[in-house]
Structure 1
Amino acid sequence: MPKHILVATDLSPRSDRAVFRAVRLAREHQARLSFVHVQDDSLPDDLLAVRQASAIEQLERFAAHVADGLDYSLLPCIGSPAATLIETIQDQAPDLLVIGVHRPRSLLDEWRETTAQRVVRMTDCPVLVVRAPDDHAYETIIAATDFTPAATAALNLGHRLAPSARIVPLNALHIPYEALLGAGGAVAMSTNTISASFRAEAQDADSAWRAHHALPIGLGHTLFPEAGPFLAVANAVTETGAHLITVGAHGRTGAHRSLLGSVATDLMRNPPCDILIARPIA
């Protein structure tokens, strides 16, 4: 269970959901809670001083109200938001970062990373991206899995955060060239054969995964929808009423964006519900 939770807030109503979820988790796990607010240093110095003083006062009032009775601290910072947050994580070494969804930026979203994506890419810290209001516990979790250590680490962390939640593993089956094969006669038989082959291979991987990894007791049967990963997860969230998705961040931390993994990247950019991203424990 987490002993230290770091929550990032820009003091906007959009980020309040992340704060309330972090406070809930801190209470449930008796964890220490740190509030970090980064004032962008691109402002003129005179305006920056006024903004920072106001932000600190607002942060103090807000934290005292929502975190009453908790062991908490305030970390007001000045700097580039993403870079400063990464430095804070490296300095504080929290067990979990909680952050809200990013602001929509139209065409810029196609080219620029969100703060959460950059944090996951550049640090080992697990990240919980909060989309939904904190009016419920995590009762159902969709665990996106490709049976790798990263996906397993995310699933197990989700279980530690919400030990009473039902966990439904999901492995999306992407059938190559399925649309080109058509749906008639011998071609349909070929499509069914290919689909069955991919499903059998995935089921074998699932059996090996369950046999060789420490997984939560009572883990549900794995779903094998035939769809792209994002669509498969989004549909499963709708069908099950899930409140949380877990997904692994592939590869090592580093400068190249491909190290994050396309599934984690897509889900973090437009999550159907809250999403937890983690790397394997070294």
Structure 2
Amino acid sequence: MVPIGVLATRPHRILLATDLTSRCDRAFDRATLLAREWEAQLHVLHAIESEPPAAPMGVDPESYARTHPDPVPAAHRALKRLVGDASAAYCHVETCTAAKAILAIAASEACDLIVLGESRVQLVGPVESTLEQVVRKAPVSTLIVRSRPQGEYRRVIVGTDFTDEARQALAWSAKCFRHAWIRLVHASWVSSAGWLDSTTAVADDSEQKLARLRAQLDESELADRTPPIEAHVEVGHPAAVLRRCAESIGADLVVIGAYERSMLFNTVVGNMRSIVRGTSGDILVVRAARDRM
């Protein structure tokens, strides 16, 4: 098992991906807040997914170039305007798909955290959006920003299914959001919950899991954390439970842990994908480190 102290380190380099439209403004504001809070280096990326067409036959190339300028210099200027006072930010423009650009820059610049806004276009079915590709493939944690930042994250929900990924997500959250009030939430979900949800069996199972959560906290390095971590168990599908819990306490962030997954696993099992899609506010997917022992 990977020691908690090895995992719980604050990011040193943050990568913000932007399409230079207003829907990424909240993600930019959050990324700059986190960079200041953690004294981290900020990288800002824009991907140009299609190159400008070549001059048609019979059209003067110079005249065509004036009316169809190279988008790369324009994108660099736009990024410089965007970062403004964050003059220490590093700007990157890549000519490839957004997902490929994000993964490449995150690797080449050794970024610890990727910050993304969310497109208004919501895909359904097995097709992956850029956001979903990055969440599934990135070797580092990914923060999806949906809400307007109101300062530091203060009320955080961390989902747990008793796996090592969940344990790492809790350790990361406690370290990086040290002043936040954290509720550790387990969704007590079984396929037969539809007909058992009012029975003693489900209540007993929930009580046992709550006791297990509290015991894990008592035995962990986080037992003496201030403010203390609260354990909570609720019956239901993980996506629905996390959303309800976040709304009930006014949480400004939901955190889950996950290893890198294949697209088949993500499509068939789908818990991570359903949680990302089903959460209305900001969500952080902590990329868990696998034990190599």
Give the TM-score, by structure 1 length: 0.85
Please tell me whether the aligned partners of residues 47 and 95 of structure 2 are also in contact (alpha carbons under 8 angstroms).
yes
Cα drift, residue 12 of structure 1 = 0.7
Please tell me whether the aligned partners of residues 43 and 89 of structure 2 are also in contact (alpha carbons under 8 angstroms).
yes
Deviating beyond 6 angstroms after TM superposition, the runs of 4 or more aligned structure 1 residues are: none
Please tell me whether the aligned partners of residues 206 and 234 of structure 2 are also in contact (alpha carbons under 8 angstroms).
no
| 1:39 aligned partner | 48
1:61-72 to structure 2, matched below 5 A, reads: 61-65=81-85, 67-68=86-87, 71-72=88-89
1:127-152 per-residue CA deviation (whole Å, 9 max, x = no partner) reads: 01000012232110011111212112
Partners in 2 of 1:75 and 1:277 — Cα distance? 24
| 1:188 aligned partner | none
Structure 1 residue 179 corresponds to structure 2 residue 194: yes
Identity %: 26
| 2:117 aligned partner | 100
Cα drift, residue 89 of structure 1 = 1.5
Partners in 2 of 1:173 and 1:207 — Cα distance? 15
1:73-88 to structure 2, matched below 5 A, reads: 73-88=90-105
Cα drift, residue 52 of structure 1 = 2.4
SS at match of 1:102: coil
Partners in 2 of 1:48 and 1:23 — Cα distance? 33
Q: Between Structure 1 and Structure 2, how many residues are aligned?
A: 268
Partners in 2 of 1:272 and 1:181 — Cα distance? 28
**Unpaired runs of 5+ in structure 2?**
1-9, 55-64
More off after superposition, 15-24 vs 224-233: 224-233
Partners in 2 of 1:277 and 1:271 — Cα distance? 12
Structure 1 residue 146 corresponds to structure 2 residue 161: yes
| 1:222 aligned partner | 231
| 1:185 aligned partner | none
Please tell me whether the aligned partners of residues 120 and 249 of structure 1 are also in contact (alpha carbons under 8 angstroms).
no
Partners in 2 of 1:224 and 1:176 — Cα distance? 17
Residue 240 of structure 1, aligned match among 249, 255, 258: 249
| 2:271 aligned partner | 263
Residues 1:212 and 1:262: Cα distance change in structure 2 (over 3 Å): farther
1:2-22 per-residue CA deviation (whole Å, 9 max, x = no partner) reads: 111111111111011111100
Residue 55 of structure 1, aligned match among 59, 65, 75: 75
1:2-21 to structure 2, matched below 5 A, reads: 2-21=11-30
Residue 133 of structure 1, aligned match among 148, 162, 177: 148
SS at match of 2:217: helix
Q: Which has the higher helix share?
A: 1
Please tell me whether the aligned partners of residues 239 and 278 of structure 2 are also in contact (alpha carbons under 8 angstroms).
no
SS at match of 2:124: helix
Query: Alignment RMSD, CA only?
Result: 2.5
Please tell me whether the aligned partners of residues 113 and 141 of structure 2 are also in contact (alpha carbons under 8 angstroms).
yes
Residues 1:26 and 1:79: Cα distance change in structure 2 (over 3 Å): same
Please tell me whether the aligned partners of residues 240 and 278 of structure 2 are also in contact (alpha carbons under 8 angstroms).
no
**Unpaired runs of 5+ in structure 1?**
183-190
Partners in 1 of 2:174 and 2:269 — Cα distance? 22
SS at match of 2:283: strand
Partners in 1 of 2:168 and 2:193 — Cα distance? 32
1:91-128 per-residue CA deviation (whole Å, 9 max, x = no partner) reads: 112111111123324xx432321222212322221001
Cα drift, residue 31 of structure 1 = 0.8
SS at match of 1:101: coil
Residues 1:78 and 1:228: Cα distance change in structure 2 (over 3 Å): same
1:175-208 per-residue CA deviation (whole Å, 9 max, x = no partner) reads: 44233358xxxxxxxx522113321441343145
Partners in 2 of 1:133 and 1:14 — Cα distance? 11
